[in-house]
Structure 1
Amino acid sequence: MLKTLLGVSRINFLTLTLACVLLALAFSLSQGAAWQWLDLVLVLMIALPAHISVNAFNEYFDFRSGLDFLTTKTPFSGGSGTLVTHPQQARLALFLAWGCLGIVMVAGLILISRYGWPLLWIGLPGVLIICTYTQYINRSPLVCLVAPGIGFGMLMTLGSIWVLQQSLPAGAWLLAVIVSLLVSNLLLLNQFPDVDADRQVGRRHYPILLGLGPCAIIFSVLHLVALGLLVLGVSLAWLPQHTLVALLSAGVLFKLLPGGIRQHSDSQALTPYLGLNVIFIHLYLLLLSAGLFWAAW
Structure 2
Amino acid sequence: MATTLHACWRSTRPNFLVLAPLCAGLAVTSAWFDGATPAGLDILLVMLAAVLAHAAVNLFNEHHDFVSGLDITTTRTPFSGGSGALPENPAAAGAVWRSALSCLAGVVAIGAWFLWRAGPVMLLHGLVGLGLVVAYTGWLTRRPWLCLLAPGVGFGTLMVVGGYQALTGAFSVTALAASLVPMLLVSALLLVNQLPDIEPDRRAGRHHLAIVLGARPAARLVAALLLAGFAVIPLGWLGGWLPVQAWLMWLAAPAMLWLVRGLWRLPAEVEAGEFSSLVPLLGLNVALLLGSLGLLNLGLWLAA
Instruction: Report the TM-score when normalising by structure 2.
Output: 0.95
Correspondence list, 1:1-297, <5 A: 1-263=4-266, 265=270, 266-296=274-304
CA distance in 1, matches of 2:225, 2:177: 14
CA distance in 2, matches of 1:165, 1:107: 15
Tell me by how many angstroms 1:236 deviates.
1.2
- Residue by residue over 1:151-174, the C-alpha shift from the partner in whole angstroms, topping out at 9 and shown as x without a partner, is 111111111111223222222111
- How many equivalent residue pairs? 296
Tell me by how many angstroms 1:134 deviates.
0.6
**Counterpart secondary structure, 1:7:** helix
Tell me by how many angstroms 1:16 deviates.
0.4
C-alpha contact 2:71 2:82 (8 A) present in aligned 1 = yes
Alignment-mate amino acid for residue 153 of structure 1: G
- Residue by residue over 1:99-121, the C-alpha shift from the partner in whole angstroms, topping out at 9 and shown as x without a partner, is 11011111111111111122011
What are structure 2's unaligned runs of at least 5 residues?
none
Tell me by how many angstroms 1:277 deviates.
0.3
Deviates more, 1:182-191 or 1:252-261: 252-261
CA distance in 2, matches of 1:87, 1:261: 39
Deviates more, 1:206-215 or 1:82-91: 206-215
CA distance in 2, matches of 1:165, 1:215: 38
C-alpha contact 2:230 2:250 (8 A) present in aligned 1 = yes
What are structure 1's unaligned runs of at least 5 residues?
none
Alignment-mate amino acid for residue 267 of structure 1: F
**Counterpart secondary structure, 1:20:** helix
CA distance in 2, matches of 1:10, 1:129: 18
Alignment-mate amino acid for residue 18 of structure 1: P
**Counterpart secondary structure, 1:269:** coil
Tell me by how many angstroms 1:74 deviates.
0.6
C-alpha contact 1:195 1:208 (8 A) present in aligned 2 = yes
- Residue by residue over 1:93-142, the C-alpha shift from the partner in whole angstroms, topping out at 9 and shown as x without a partner, is 00000111011111111111111122011000100111111111000001
**Counterpart secondary structure, 2:227:** helix
Tell me by how many angstroms 1:213 deviates.
1.6
CA distance in 2, matches of 1:111, 1:117: 9
CA distance in 2, matches of 1:101, 1:77: 23
Tell me by how many angstroms 1:261 deviates.
2.9
C-alpha contact 2:38 2:168 (8 A) present in aligned 1 = no
Alignment-mate amino acid for residue 112 of structure 2: L
CA distance in 2, matches of 1:155, 1:169: 13
Tell me by how many angstroms 1:50 deviates.
0.7
Deviates more, 1:187-196 or 1:177-186: 177-186
- Matched-pair identity in %: 40
CA distance in 1, matches of 2:26, 2:247: 14
